[in-house]
Every structure is written in structure tokens, then in C-alpha cells.
Amino acid sequence: IVYGWKIYDYLTEYTRMGLKYSSSESPFRLFTKNEKCGISPTYPQQFIIPRDMSDDDIEECSKFRTKERFAILAYYYKENGASIWRSSQPKEGLWGNENKADQKMMQCISETSPKGKKSKYSFSDPKRDEASLHIFDARSMIAAIGNKITGSGYENIAHYPFAWLQFCNIAHIHPVRESFHRLMEACNDFKTVTSTKWFLTLDKTEWFNHLACILRSANLMAESIRAGRTVLVHCSDGWDRTSQLSCLTQLILDKYYRTIEGFEVLIEKDFLAFGHQFKLRLSHGTENGLYGKDFCPVFIQYLDCVYQITHQFPTIFEFNSKFLADIAFHSMSLQYGTFLGNNTKDRKAIDVKAKTTSLWSHMNSNKEEYKNPLYNPSAPFVDEGTFYPDTILLRMKLWEEVHMKWMRPSLMAQNEAQMSFDTPIDYMMYL
């Protein structure tokens, strides 16, 4: 049996990326002052920050970002030295508050950008092309402006003149939850599934619109990284849409994350270690379940985006759709300890590694079930290891293994009952 709790080690993963953080000449360093999660309760105990940021600077930064989620390194792209950083929204408020430590942090991050070096890419938008730091705010501009009323907001580019800001227009948890409810109702109603208005009903759920918007934003982030611009991504609190975009961009850029082991490491790093609230968002152990006020299938939505990509590029992933479907199921089953709690601090408090089994132990002990027979990591249409998913709704496909999990046996039974063929020719005509 494979011991799943050892699948991810943050220092091993940063080394695999090609990141050199121990050298005094490196622009990065390891921050170790969050051992008791005192500075940022929802962050891991250790993470990578710019070398020029002192420990006091980090404490000041934490005060200017919601939930104390200041910018930390998520991914280093060794092909050109660009990187992905993640945070929460700044506390600019209605009065345009400034924070010198946060400005210094953004300046240091921008200086790690290899803009123009080893890059054959440029942008038609001169502001985007000139900026060394590309900030992707997952929200709409209206939503970000609305958050100013509560004392938060978004980056005022006048305070960060080296940056370019892009709003991604990804819906927040409430519309996504409602969309998911409509999808579940449609997919689990026999009359709806078998009616002539099925596609109209599916369209009204708006589920595919949400997926397409997320994938478009991930494509833009990947373009920036490949062009040698360092990226900062955040939403409101930096643990929902931020995790989706960070993971999908890395999946587009790095073929390691398209392997079984790599995909597990990606989830461990960007969803689990960086504080996506599984307990809260998937309503673990609550009476209201899928109808709780904080429920939102953010992680399921991310897996569905990955499913869409595997459907478009069936040869570049080591794993099959059953692998994704089983992860989706067990993120809610509570059969394994992997997705318990809301963050590293929670899981350490309940000692999940000693008291529960990791989902990866099960999956990696049964790898043959999850292998994609079409896997070809050297697919000729993948440009330098990178690809860009198509985001038009025509290319979106319903993930039946998950959304119709309980309906499929009934549909199969009905089909079998209707299939009575007198001759082999009738059967071939049916096919």
C-alpha cells in the first residue's frame, strides 16, 4: 500500500520546479515564521516570499490583505523564470488606503519577472506588454468596487505603476451554488433528462458559462507566464477562485501536473496547503448539506474544468475521467482524511495523518484503474509542453460520471428495455 500522506512535500516540489531559494543570490527565500500559523492562520507553516522582504515587512503586509493572506509563491516556471503568486484582496477601502509594505512586496515580486528575457511573446495591449507584474482579479470590476464599501477592494494601479490589472468576471459562490442546484435538479429528474427540452434546460443552469469563464482566465494567465510576466492572482479571500485559477494555469503550463502523482501534488499544494475551505464549502457534517449558506462546489467546479480539458486533449493526461470522478466523490464522502477541515491548522489539530487514511493511498495502490490508455506526454500538438483549452460552449461536455451518477443506471435500464432487435441489421442501424 502506498503511503499517501507523503505524496506532497513543499520543499521537494519547489526544488522540482527549479526554484533556488537557499542561495543568497536568489530573489526568493523560505519564510518559516508561520510555524504556529500566528501571522496567517489559513496559510501553511512555511512558504516562499521575496528575499528582500523582511519578517517585519511580512507582518505589515498581512494587515493590509483580508484574512492575513498576503502574496506568497504558488509556482515557478523554470522555462523562463516567471512565477505565479497568490493572495487575497487588499484593504484599500473607499478612501484608497495605502500600505508601504504591500507596495514593497508587489515591487519585489515584479522584479522577479524575467520580462523580455528568453521570450518571443508580446501583447497587443501596450499597458499589458509594458507591465512586469500582471494582476488577475478573479472577480468582476463591479464586485471588486462593491467590496470597497466593506473596507477591502482591489489594487489601485497608481500605487503599483509596474502592474497591469485584469478583472476575470468569475462568479462568486452564491450564483455558482444556485447554478449547481439547477444542474443537479436537471440531471437527477428522469422526465427532464428524457425530454425534448433537455438541452434548453441544461443551458438554463448556466453551469457551462461558469466553466468557460474560469478556463478563459486560466488561458490568459498562462499567456502572461509564457511571455515572461510574473502573475499575482486573487479573488476576495484568496481561497476559492484563486485556487481554481492557480491550479488550472499550472496544469496548462506544466506536464508534471498532468500525471497521476503530479495532479495529487497540485491539489495538496494549491487547494489543501493554501487553505481552500473544504469543510465549509462542501458542508462536511452539516444538516443543510448542499443547501447550506456557505456551500459552494468550488472544488467540484475545478475538477469539471479539468474534465473539459481532458475531453479536448485526451492524450496528454496520464489519468482518466474515473480518477477525477473518484476524487470528486471522496471530497464529500469523508471516507478519507485528505479533505477534512478548512486548512493546514485544522488538519494538524485533529491529527489527520495519524488517525485517518489519505485518499492518495487508495488511488495510488490501484493506479491501473485510473490510467488513461491514450496517454502520450509528447503529443505533437502541445507547444513546448503548453496548450490552451477551447472555451466556446460548443466544446463543453456534461460530466455524466459525476452529475448523473445516480441517474445513469435508470437511463441504462430504460435503454435496454427499449432495445429489441429482430436482426443483426436492425442492431447495426441502431448503432
Give the closest residue to 135 by CA, choosing from 110, 101, 158, 114.
110
Per-residue pLDDT of the chain (431 residues; tens, 9 = 90+): 678 999 999 999 999 999 999 888 899 999 999 987 789 999 999 999 999 999 999 999 999 999 999 999 999 999 999 999 999 999 999 999 999 999 999 999 999 988 655 456 778 899 999 999 999 999 999 999 999 999 999 999 999 999 999 999 999 999 999 999 999 999 988 888 888 899 999 999 999 999 999 999 999 999 999 999 999 999 999 999 999 999 999 999 999 999 999 999 999 999 999 999 999 999 998 888 888 889 999 999 999 999 999 999 999 999 999 999 999 999 999 999 999 999 999 999 999 999 999 999 999 999 999 999 999 877 766 666 678 999 999 999 999 999 998 775 554 444 444 444 444 444 344 43
Q: β-strand 230-234 against 28-31: which pairing, if any?
A: unpaired
The DSSP code sequence of 246-288 is HHHHHHHH-GGGGSHHHHHHHHIIIIIITT--HHHHTTTT-SS
**Would you say 232 and 135 are in contact if contact means Cβ atoms under 8 Å apart?**
yes
pLDDT of residue 322: 97
Alpha-carbon gap, residue 28 to 320, rounded angstroms: 36
pLDDT of residue 117: 55
Phi, psi of 264 (to 5 degrees): -65, -40
Give the closest residue to 155 by CA, choosing from 174, 136, 142.
136
Burial, 77: exposed, middle or buried (Cβ in 10 Å; 0-12, 13-18, 19+)? Answer: buried
- The grid coordinates listed for 287 are 444538516
Query: DSSP assignment, residue 189?
Result: -
Residue carrying the nine cell digits 505603476: 161
Alpha-carbon gap, residue 5 to 352, rounded angstroms: 9
- The grid coordinates listed for 398 are 456534461
Q: β-strand 230-234 against 133-137: which pairing, if any?
A: parallel
Question: How many helices and strands (H and E) does the chain possess?
Answer: 21, 7
Q: Which amino acids are annotated catalytic?
A: 235
Please state, in angstroms and as integers, the Cα–Cα distance from residue 275 to each residue in 237, 269, 289, following that order. 10, 9, 21
pLDDT of residue 384: 60
User: What residue type is 30 in one-letter code?
Assistant: L
Alpha-carbon gap, residue 85 to 66, rounded angstroms: 16
Give the closest residue to 337 by CA, choosing from 284, 290, 412.
284
pLDDT of residue 408: 56
Alpha-carbon gap, residue 186 to 204, rounded angstroms: 10
**Would you say 153 and 230 are in contact if contact means Cβ atoms under 8 Å apart?**
no
**Would you say 202 and 398 are in contact if contact means Cβ atoms under 8 Å apart?**
yes
Alpha-carbon gap, residue 377 to 19, rounded angstroms: 23
